[in-house]
Structure 1
Amino acid sequence: MAVLDPFTLSIVSIVLLCLLGLPIGHAMIASSIFYLMLSGLDMGTAAEQLLNGMFSSYILLAVPLFILAAELMNSGTMTLKLLAFCNAFVGRFPGGLALVNVVQSVIFAGMSGSAIADAAGTGKMMQKMMTEGGKYPPAFAAALTASSAVIGPIIPPSIPIVIYALVSDASIGYLFLAGVVPGLLMGLVQATIILTSARRREFPLEEPVPLRELPRITFYAIPALMMPVVLLGGIYGGATTPTEAAAVAALYALLISAILYRSVSLSSIYDSLLSSARTTASIGMLIAGALVFNYVVTIENIPMGLSGWLGGFDLSPTGFLLIVIAILLALGCILEGTTILLIIVPVFIPTANALGVDLVHFGIVCVVTIMLGLITPPYGLLLFIMTNISGRPLSEIVREVLPFLMSLLVALVLITLVPDISLWLPRLFGYNG
């Protein structure tokens, strides 16, 4: 590759534009147009690729709808009902509030589909609950909240899985199912870390909720707990597509919050719509930039070139997956997860196909790896969010997050080496992979 060939210059321009403060989506669009100009190609192709990709992909509509559902939940009291339910059942154990943090992330994962939504929504509440009265060190509470939030995009619904389905053409329904057991495994390893360190660090015991209160707390939490049932039941019952299910989830969150819990006002609904629109616009511009830049990558024949290069090493499927994990973890330290899913992962898909790697299993491995990048120093977007929420230095939170990160890496290795962890549930519903 020549030092000053158009592709190299387009990569350099992306880096420079990002360093100057331009959002990466805008930088990719500008650099792709720059590449087309240098290559003597029609620069209008950039607009064609953007419009075709954004407006012909029905599945992309699921992204703003899942975001809206999470915003409506946070604006009402659905989240508080879920926290009370979790506390009633696991709060009584050593490190009870820490366990509540993990369990609520597992449950809330079935509603928001976003690690950022989990950390910014229930994460704020958990940080306050855990540090009130000096119960837990603020840095530990922040690290745990960041670590448990990565479960959100693994258990369905999942915005990253929707995006992976877009770039891979794998079944979104089977991908959703494939995330359930790995997500539960990630919650289990985090709970194990909490239980093993609770006595050593003298974490407090919460006052047990009387058994006579459990039916009442469960009753009030049932409407919120039914969200995943409504969502997944519609998809796997054949009544809705994943995109339609996302619309149903948003409507369900609105009706439950407004009518049953009576906890939202017109102004809070407006705020939810506004916040959802802003987040969607940000993600949408990133997707638009990736669609245009992926066209450049295709012109340069990068995926097939990489496939041929990796094929020269005579890799086994497991060896290939381990290399992909290493690359994605390294990139996760410096890049945002959606960018990696849209730009880097598609480059590996032809090789995965050639080696016979199941694309549903491959998708779960990629999404889990990318989510771990959210808590991997030095970038770790969730670490920065929790630094802002907790008011503690990043160095303290990094020190506390390392045991959780190590345990999640163990879970990732198991998910990678044992495909049945991901594929057992989809196969139960008829998947032939």
Structure 2
Amino acid sequence: MLDPMGAALGLIFVLAVFALPIGEAMICGTILYLALAGFDTSIAAETMLQGLFNSYTLLAIPLFILAADIMNVGSLADRLLRFSQALVGRFRGGLGHVNVVSSLIFSGMSGSALADAVGMGRIIINMMTKDGKYTPSYAAAITAASATIGPIIPPSIPMVLYALVSDTSIGYLFAAGMLPGLMMGVVLILMNAWLARRRRFPVDEAVPMRAIPGVTFRAIPALLLPVILLGGIYGGVMTPTEAAAAAAAYALLVSVVFYRSVNFGQFYGALLSSGRSTANIGILIAGSLAFNYVITRENVPDMLAGWLQQFELSQVGFLIVINLLLLVLGCVLEGGAILLIIVPIFIPTVQALGIDPVHFGVVVVVNSMIGLVTPPYGLLLFVVQNITKAPLSAIIRDLMPFLYALFAALAIVTFVPDLVLFLPRLLGYQG
């Protein structure tokens, strides 16, 4: 007799190989499992609908996406980029530093690595490659690497997904991502500085000191967005979902009233773009909710926990295994799929070993973001390759030093949990 679980996994694999989106493949696999196991196949639809409509937390995702799309069609990205250039553009390899700093600032608004790469990244890549100052492959590489910071510094769509599967506080997860995100920015800047000296990158024209106050003043409305967003959450004024709505409304207000850079057509385009992105994520979440029913029905988390216990792994040993596994999976799977399908399987083991769930969440999210730039499947690689038209092999070659720097940051995040938990504990976290 055909094994329902094996048949479901086989169908998902085959459909994924033939380029069907992983969310839709999981829905098909779940329906096949239910049919072979003798269950009512309508359970799949019921599970998806209950999971999607009963989760208030999920509303934050389309709102954060909308806020990012509004900023991309307006002039917020340009003003933030000019502000970053005033801060660090005067050093050797300055536009590389600007690339990283602008990602640090923009990440406090979008919560999405792809939004960072497509919006801010497109602008800075054009600046870097103008007049041949930097090769297109190097501009693409540092843009892809710096975009990984976006979902680490709050707000963060992947952390919302992790909170969904682990029942962890979004507010504490957001706080836990701040220092690791800043550290990732620092290691990328240090690597860019080293490469700039080694490759003799140009010293870009500095913004005159007398112009810096004006540049800063024009950027203040945009810079206030993360302050309002995080202040509202940690001040107890707003839930993360309400803060996401406030972020979208504020981005529209600033773009229309202060900067007057968004017309109705552009706003309509932002709505369409955010709707498409939300639908893609929604299908992925729906598929994972349905397939997680199968995983739970087959008792896979407990079986895996029992299998791991026989190795008597310590917390450190388990985290090493998880990092290696997720890094390998990141080469072939999208980050959202890892968070929604793979991570829930390990939650019982995390609890049994006494690993802090907030710390584990940051480790997982950092890992999944590194997966976005890990060959051969890294999604950000294809995004920046499409922008620059540089050969993918050249982009990967220039990316490797930055990838090593990100691995070093991941090691620190993994083995120094106090760094991750410092800010959450200041905010009252008891973990």
TM normalised by structure 2 equals: 0.99
Tell me the CA shift for residue 42 of structure 1. Answer: 1.7
2:23 aligns to what SS in structure 1? helix
Give the CA RMSD over aligned residues. Answer: 0.8
Aligned match of 1:270: 268
> C-alpha separation between the residues in 1 aligned to 2:28 and 2:313?
37
**Which of residues 188, 191, 210 is equivalent to 1:190?**
188
Aligned match of 2:38: 40
> C-alpha separation between the residues in 2 aligned to 1:93 and 1:231?
32
Matches within 5 A, 1:144-159: 144-159=142-157
Tell me the CA shift for residue 206 of structure 1. Answer: 1.3
Which moved further from structure 2: 66-75 or 15-24?
15-24
AA in 2 matched with 1:181? L
Give me the identity figure in percent: 60
> C-alpha separation between the residues in 2 aligned to 1:93 and 1:205?
6
> C-alpha separation between the residues in 2 aligned to 1:304 and 1:269?
48
**Which of residues 233, 237, 240 is equivalent to 1:239?**
237
Matches within 5 A, 1:98-117: 98-117=96-115
Aligned match of 1:397: 395
Please give the per-residue CA displacement for 1:9-52, whole angstroms capped at 9, x wherever unaligned.
Answer: 00000111223332211111111011011001121211111111
> C-alpha separation between the residues in 1 aligned to 2:372 and 2:360?
19
Aligned match of 2:415: 417
Tell me the CA shift for residue 218 of structure 1. Answer: 0.5
Please give the per-residue CA displacement for 1:347-378, whole angstroms capped at 9, x wherever unaligned.
Answer: 01100000000000000000000110111111
> C-alpha separation between the residues in 2 aligned to 1:314 and 1:20?
39
Aligned match of 1:379: 377
> C-alpha separation between the residues in 1 aligned to 2:11 and 2:425?
45
> C-alpha separation between the residues in 2 aligned to 1:34 and 1:207?
61
Matches within 5 A, 1:3-402: 4-402=2-400
2:91 aligns to what SS in structure 1? coil
AA in 2 matched with 1:251? A
Tell me the CA shift for residue 61 of structure 1. Answer: 0.3
Aligned match of 1:430: 428
> C-alpha separation between the residues in 2 aligned to 1:208 and 1:37?
66
> C-alpha separation between the residues in 1 aligned to 2:18 and 2:178?
40
Tell me the CA shift for residue 202 of structure 1. Answer: 1.0
> C-alpha separation between the residues in 1 aligned to 2:68 and 2:162?
20
> C-alpha separation between the residues in 2 aligned to 1:88 and 1:152?
21
> C-alpha separation between the residues in 2 aligned to 1:293 and 1:164?
16
Tell me the CA shift for residue 263 of structure 1. Answer: 0.2
Please give the per-residue CA displacement for 1:310-354, whole angstroms capped at 9, x wherever unaligned.
Answer: 111111111101101111110000011100100000001100000
Number of residue pairs aligned between Structure 1 and Structure 2: 431
> C-alpha separation between the residues in 2 aligned to 1:393 and 1:21?
22
> C-alpha separation between the residues in 2 aligned to 1:195 and 1:184?
16
Tell me the CA shift for residue 197 of structure 1. Answer: 1.7
AA in 2 matched with 1:272? A
> C-alpha separation between the residues in 2 aligned to 1:225 and 1:410?
29
